[in-house]
Structure 1
């Protein structure tokens, strides 16, 4: 396998990684939710999920791993207030999303790491050592 990062394309056992992508989206006057774009990339060491979420802060995110389910969620409350001589107008806007991914059994859940920079939440999902592809080797015959 090349050391170049390749985009997630296909073997059937990996389709479950995307197949369980669940999300909730609500649209009410007090709540506007959208689901951000997500990239999933695989390399020799594991997978990386990149979530495009500009305008949020690191503290707005919550990551939860339960069994093989990784849930990525965020919630942000924005308040806007206009004061005039005769009235005060307040508006509240809540933005949130949630996505859940079923991870393959090859992921080492204890070593998952995440960071948020420049509007991108990046989650590293390292493979277990036994799941990494081993280079070909010559076996001596005794």
Structure 2
């Protein structure tokens, strides 16, 4: 007796079962908000990419979060921690051929970073959201000498 691996399915795929039903085929064929639940390539990722640039008088923080509005963001600076968070809710009701479809999605994220001592927390942090990128400017304290890096030996 020999065993041979078979790639044949014994049960039909769910998509094939409902392919001829107009309600279910419409749900499977169109891009729905449910795909964002399973697919991280939706409006924005679970944890958006963040770039931090140090300049002479300020730090620039850029956060990639397309598909949001500036009202969706919450930005706080508290005791040396910069936190950027956002949430977005969408809902859609559709009636077609006697069926009512209700879809909703809820996406949120939160990113926190420790800021260096050279940041002046008393100065205003400027924030601008444009083309899916949130840009923050954190001003440095004046007349502060940068600390030099130390080498640490391993024993």
Which residue number corresponds to residue 76 of structure 2? 64
In structure 1, runs of 5+ residues without a counterpart are 1-28, 134-142
Equivalent residues in 2 for 1:42-57, closer than 5 Å: 42-57=54-69
Q: After the TM superposition, which segments of 4 or more aligned residues of structure 1 sit over 6 Å from their partners?
A: none
Equivalent residues in 2 for 1:1-142, closer than 5 Å: 34-111=46-123, 112-131=125-144
What is the distance in 1 between the residues matched to 2:135 and 2:65? 10
TM-score normalized by the length of structure 1: 0.67
Residues 87 and 39 of structure 1: CA distance in aligned 2, closer, same or farther (over 3 Å): same
In structure 2, runs of 5+ residues without a counterpart are 1-36, 147-155
TM-score normalized by the length of structure 2: 0.62
> Which structure has the larger Rg?
2
Per-residue CA deviation, residues 24-55 of structure 1 (Å, 9 max, x unaligned), is xxxxx6xx861111111011012100001111
RMSD, aligned α-carbons: 2.1
By relative contact order (CA 8 Å, sep 6+), the higher-ranking structure is 1
Structure ranking higher in strand proportion: 1
